[in-house]
């Protein structure tokens, strides 16, 4: 009897991958994938995971100062959700072959990035409203299409994350609505927070399409489904009517409804500011990373204890077997 085995060649593997992408199927961890697809996903998912956990800091800063028990429990749930998002995403990135330890080391050393939006300070209680409404709102617009990303573990993580993000967006809107219906001082506080968070939120969608170096590959691979500018426009169109309900003015004198395009037109973004914060010169970059490292170091005993416990359990299992 002769046994013939068919060993897939590199060409077969590439064409299987291409066919899966073309059919809008999902690539799973066990599947062959091009090295650049894997590297792009690791970069993107790790950056996303880092953003979730660094993003806990600006609002975590207000947990002890929330104005009522109800607001405090809502904010606590929100900040805990972000920790969970980080965990789902680190787990998704690990399926691509990079360990969580390695990702955290890269975060701490600046080798991997997190979203620049979290380098701005939360100066008043109203900032928690502006973050939920605008930052989580922009995150939703960015992330809903990722529920259909071609990499299975990422897409599945995003489905649950998006459900929780919509609660985050609503709690932010609810904070601002309460302030907007309050005293003149409260109204001014809400307006000031929106003034500071509006432009950075628009920058969350990344550079204009013409200057977005990784976009073309990500689109071809079914990781990204819409361009940065398309998503930014979608966010503006969604947010302007909500600002009207709040009675808050968005800080853009050029913002107007454009009959012809059927979209809101808006003013130019100050990309030099974006690049400055991205380079590490934002108001809170150093502080965010310093606190993250300190939290990691403070947690060393928990990791050591968990590792020792797992070893003990394994030894016991072996003994009883
Ligand atoms: Fe999140
Ligand atoms: Fe969120």
Q: Give the tens place of pLDDT for each residue, 79-124.
A: 999 999 999 999 999 999 999 999 999 999 999 999 999 999 999 9
CA distances from 129 to 83, 174, 205 (A): 19, 7, 20
Whether the CB-CB separation of 86 and 105 falls below 8 Å is answered with no
Answer whether residue 13 shows pLDDT above 90. yes
User: Which ligand neighbours the alpha carbon of 51 most closely?
Assistant: 1
- Cα–ligand 2 centroid distance for 130 (angstroms): 12
Reported as a single tens digit per residue, the pLDDT across 269-295 is 999 988 888 787 888 899 999 999 999
- Cα–ligand 2 centroid distance for 157 (angstroms): 14
- Cα–ligand 1 centroid distance for 139 (angstroms): 8
Answer whether residue 198 shows pLDDT above 70. yes
User: Which ligand neighbours the alpha carbon of 171 most closely?
Assistant: 2
Interatomic CA distance for residues 317 and 321, integer angstroms: 6
Q: Which chain residues have CB less than 5 Å from ligand 1, an ion?
A: 52, 82, 85
- Cα–ligand 1 centroid distance for 302 (angstroms): 24
**DSSP per position, 239-280:** HHHHHHHHT---S-TT-EEETTTTEEE-PPP-HHHHHHIIII
Q: What is the mean pLDDT of residues 126-141?
A: 98
User: Which ligand neighbours the alpha carbon of 135 most closely?
Assistant: 2
Cα 220 to chain centroid distance, Å, stands at 21
- Cα–ligand 1 centroid distance for 79 (angstroms): 8
Is CATH 3.40.50.970 the classification given to domain 12-269? no
Report domain extents, the chain.
12-269
Whether the CB-CB separation of 187 and 179 falls below 8 Å is answered with yes
Interatomic CA distance for residues 295 and 63, integer angstroms: 17
């Amino acid at each position: 009897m002769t046994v013939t085995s068919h060993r897939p060649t590199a060409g077969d593997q590439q064409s299987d991958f291409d066919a899966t992408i073309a059919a809008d199927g999902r690539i799973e961890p066990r599947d062959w994938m091009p090295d650049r697809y894997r590297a792009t996903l690791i970069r993107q998912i790790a950056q996303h995971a880092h953003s979730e956990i660094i993003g806990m800091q600006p609002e975590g800063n207000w947990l002890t100062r929330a104005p009522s028990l109800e607001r405090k429990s809502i904010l606590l749930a929100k900040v805990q959700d972000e920790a969970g998002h980080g965990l789902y995403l680190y787990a998704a990135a690990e399926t691509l072959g990079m360990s969580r330890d390695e990702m955290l080391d890269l975060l701490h050393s600046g080798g991997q990035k997190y979203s620049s939006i979290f380098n701005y300070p939360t100066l008043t209680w109203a900032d928690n409203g502006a973050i939920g409404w605008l930052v989580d709102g922009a995150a939703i617009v960015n992330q809903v299409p990722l529920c259909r990303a071609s990499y299975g573990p990422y897409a599945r993580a995003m489905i649950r994350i998006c459900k929780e993000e919509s609660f985050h967006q609503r709690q932010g809107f609810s904070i601002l609505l309460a302030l907007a219906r309050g005293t003149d001082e409260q109204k001014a506080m809400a307006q000031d927070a929106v003034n500071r968070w509006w432009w950075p939120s628009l920058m969350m969608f990344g550079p204009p399409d013409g200057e977005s170096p990784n976009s073309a590959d990500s689109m071809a691979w079914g990781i990204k489904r819409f361009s940065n500018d398309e998503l930014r426009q979608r966010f503006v169109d969604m947010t302007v009517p909500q600002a009207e309900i709040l009675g808050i003015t968005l800080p853009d004198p050029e913002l107007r409804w454009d009959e012809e395009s059927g979209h809101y037109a808006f003013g130019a973004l100050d990309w030099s500011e974006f690049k400055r914060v991205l380079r590490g010169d934002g108001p809170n970059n150093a502080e965010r990373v310093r606190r993250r490292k300190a939290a990691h170091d403070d947690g060393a005993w928990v990791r050591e204890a968990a590792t020792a416990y797992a070893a003990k359990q394994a030894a016991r299992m072996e003994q009883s077997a």
